Every structure is written in structure tokens, then in C-alpha cells.
Amino acid sequence: MPKIQEIYPLPEAALIDPFAFLDPTVADRCCASARMADVLGQAREGDEKRETRQGHNDGVLALLSQYAKGSVSPVEVVDRLQGRIRTSANAEAILRFARDFDVAAAESSKRWRNGTARPLEGVPFGVKDIIDVADTIITCGSFFTGDRIASRDALVVSRLREAGAIPFAITATSEFALGSPHNLRYGPVRNPRDAARWTGGSSTGSGAAVAAGLVPLALGTDTGGSIRVPACWCGISGFKPTRDLVSRDGIAPLSWTLDHCGPMAREVADIAATLSFMTATYDRDLDKACQDALRNHDIRGLRIGVPVNWFIEKVDDQVLSNWQAELSTLARLGANVVELPYLDIAPLYKSGWTIMMAELATLHAARQDNPDHVDAVLSDRLQAGLKITAVDYAKALQARVAAQRILLDAMSNVDLVCTPGVGSEAGFLETMTAEVNGETLDIYEVIPRNTNIFNLTGFPALMLPAGLGRSGMPTGIQIVGRPNADALCLQAGMALQAAIV
């Protein structure tokens, strides 16, 4: 009988390299009938036949419209963005530029001139510093990784590159996509709306960069809310797709069971215009659904479920008021807003934390031997993760099945669910606290409460802006669908944003 080391080679070093860690769930992929290269070839062929559609905002769609008219070129756009980054008060959101972005911009400009533009030709995008970009330093926001240079693109970056988009800037992250706002290597990323407040983590740089106009589109990752929280607190749109709709290949894991990758943009329409170019394989149905949603935001007859507990608890009254106003808009647009049954989320929420901390400890336990190089929040969670037993971890994994069943049963008579976003306005960097109805709470009591459960279930979840809080900072709402109802979430989000006068 072969030894386990012969089947699954274990790293010789005491520290596990997150980029070399084998995700246990990939074992089933060897059963796929189509080779990845063949599928990507089909995607490229389909991509070239798509038309570029014009938008009405200052993001991805607007750039494509301007390129098509010849009023600006990709070279001019990246030059302008570089200048903006160098002078921006939010420049800490950008750690470095991607290798050869200027070469890619020149190629895109040439393609627009000679009529061979691809669907996302010349659109610059930010990449969170745990997602590989070929020949570019990717550090996971940690001293431990040194100046590691990625040998190839992560699959999501490769897919966007094939569609003509340009990996432009590497955006800041909490250490290993988990730690506190106070990154030991790079420092904090401040909220563009108020420098005393955080953007939310861990896609902290991607959220700030999009909000500050430093990039029109950015990739983030989301394990307990790390796309949706910065989107909410920075007043932009962020989407956590259905689990593994966007590949995690080439992305350093935090929790291989809960991790998701997805886009952040100023408006939902820009997410709808780009999502089908991020998927691991070309999904014709998703592509058509997204394009249909871009053309038609009609949500008449859609049934929207609203929670009666958990998601509306530990939420500031102004956040609730803004959410209720958005529900009224949905109703005015023809949707039927109905109450969900009572949901016992608390034990499921706890299971999500158990999984994340156990898997975090698997990856990073040995780093505690160097406390001066470890973020304090990361260190605390490593210690908690090391105390989790194998039985507790297994039970938490089993709770994923229960969570999916409970949520699907609750959604049996609705098309989508709409919850408040994060329960407060952006938290304060100095104290790491947030305010809810005048009560000062630890920041981590608030930020993952309404988002964590949908990492556990893997359901698609969209965060978009919904008014301002008591202090004039952004608040948000969350639209959630069943698995693979990604385009429907985006359609509802676009309907809301189109209704804003």
C-alpha cells in the first residue's frame, strides 16, 4: 500500500505555502470530460462574436463606449489612471502596477484602431494581492511571502485578459485575506469617504480603489463577506457569485471551503457586463442571461423575500430605514415583497466561523512562531483555530448541508431574498469599533453577520449602495439568489439603480 506522502506530497518546510496548497475539492475535477484548453478555446470563439454595448455610467460600459467612438484610447486611460493614483489621497489602496500593463494598453489601442477589439478590450482592472498576475509581485499582504513573483495568471485573470481586459494594478488586502485593518507590511487602507474609517476587509484595496475612481473594476475575494463589506462601506457594488462560478485557481486560499472570487465596480451594470468573462469555462446561459438583464431590467412579478429576524437584528435603524426604502422601490417597480419564515441562523453562523478558523490554522499555524510578523487579529484567530477539534470541524462541514436546505426551503416561494447590508456605517480605524443605534460594538460583531451565511451555502449575493447613514456614510442592501441565479441578482440590482433619479 502506498504511503500518504506518495499520494499527496507534503511540504518539507514547516510553513505551508498557500499558493502550493492542494484544495481537497479539486480531486473531482479529473472526472470532467472536456479538457480546460478546449473549453477556453470555445469561450474565445464565442467572445469574438459578441457586440460591445454602451453604458450610461463612468465605469466599464462607459469606457467601452468611448473606445468604440474613438474619443479616448486605452493608452490614454491607463496614463490618466496612473496620474490619478499618484496624486490620490487613497493611493494606499494600490500597492503596485501589474507587469506590462502599458504593453497591453498599447495592444488594445491598436485593436480598437484596426477593428479587432475583443469584448472587454482595454478595460483596466485591479487585482487583490492574493490573486496571481503573471510576472508580478503578489504578497498576500504579508512579510512572510517576501517579494514573491507569480509565475502565471490566476485563471480568472487569464479569462479577463483573453477578453481584452488589462490587469492594471495590485490592490491592498488584509494579511492573508483575514487580518485587521492595520496591515503590518503596508499599513491601513482608509475609506475614501472618511479617512478615520475603514473600507472593510479583506478586499480593502479593491473597494477603496473603485470608490476613489482609481480603477473601473477590481477583483476581490469573499470568505465571510470580504467583497460585500467593502462594497457596502465604500458605496459601490460588489458581487459574490455562486460558489466556484469564478475559479479559485491561482488564488491563495484562506478557507478552501468558503472562499469565493468576484468583481467590484461602481455600478451593477458593469458587473453584469464582465461576469461571464470571469467564469472558469464559457457559460453560454450565463452570458445570455447577463446580456438580457443589461437590456431589460424589468422585475415585474418577481417575488422578493425579506427576513423577519437575524438579518434585521444588530442593525442600525437608519440602515433598516434605507433598506425599507429600497424594498418600497422594488414594490413600485412591480416586484412582490413577501416575508420569509423565521430562520435559525445563529448555529449556522457559528459553523461558518468554525470552518474558516480551522482551515486558516491548517494553512498558517506555524507562522505564530514569528509573532512580530503576524497581524494581531490573524494571530488571535490562529490560536482559536488551533483549539478546534476534528469532530467540531466535521460537524461544521455537515452544517453546510443543513444551511443550504434551510435557506432553499425558506426561498421555495420566492425568486430572490433582500436583506440589509452591513448593520452599520463604516467602522473606525483607531478603535476598531462600529456604531449601531448609539451603541459602540467591536467591528467584527457587525461586519460578517449578514454576509457569512451565504459563504457557507455558496449562494450568489450582491451588495449595492442604499442611501446614507446617520453620519452621511454609505449603507447598503444585499440581494441573494439560489445557486446559479447570478444574473437574476444582477437584474434586480440594475433595476434598483436605474430607478434612482
Task: Express each pLDDT in 274-292 by its tens digit.
Answer: 999 999 889 999 999 999 9
Taken in order 56, 57, 60, 63, the sign of the CA dihedral is positive
What cell was used for 137? 509581485
Residue 75 domain-assigned (yes or no): no
The pLDDT value given to residue 500 = 80
Check residue 187 and give left, alpha or beta (phi > 0: left; psi -120 to 50: alpha). left
Q: What is the tally of structural domains in the chain? A: 1
- 140, part of any domain: yes
User: Which DSSP state fits 340?
Assistant: P
> How high is the pLDDT of residue 239?
99
Catalytic residue among 202, 203, 255, 351: 202
Is 9 a domain residue?
no
Q: Does residue 385 lie within any of the structural domains? A: yes
Contact criterion met (CB below 8 Å) for 381 and 178: yes
Instruction: Determine the structural domain holding residue 357 and report its residue range.
Output: 89-499
226 is catalytic: yes
Confidence of residue 67 (pLDDT cuts 50, 70, 90): very high
CA dihedral 155, 161, 163, 168 (to 10 degrees): 130
Selected catalytic residue, list 73, 142, 226, 255: 226
| Per-residue pLDDT at 195 exceeds 80 | yes
8-state DSSP, 149: B
Known active-site residue 202: yes
User: Buried (b) or exposed (e) across 457-488, using 16+ Cβ within 10 A?
Assistant: bbbbbbbbbbbebeeebbbbbbbbbbebbbbb
pLDDT confidence of 15, banded at 50, 70, 90? low
In a domain, 198, yes or no: yes
Residue 293 lies in a domain: yes
Q: Find the CATH number of the domain harbouring 114.
A: 3.90.1300.10
pLDDT tens for each residue of 128-177: 999 999 999 999 999 999 999 999 999 999 999 999 999 999 999 999 99
Q: Do 129 and 95 form a contact (C-beta atoms < 8 A)?
A: yes
Catalytic residue among 73, 128, 180, 206: 128
Check if 128 is active-site: yes
Q: Is 142 helix (H, G, I), strand (E, B) or coil?
A: coil
Decide if 149 is inside a domain: yes
Q: Per-residue pLDDT averaged across 254-272, rounded? A: 97
Q: Is 160 inside a domain boundary?
A: yes
What are the percentages of helix, strand and coil residues in the chain, rounded to 5?
A: 45, 15, 40
**pLDDT-derived band of residue 25, with 50, 70 and 90 as boundaries?**
low
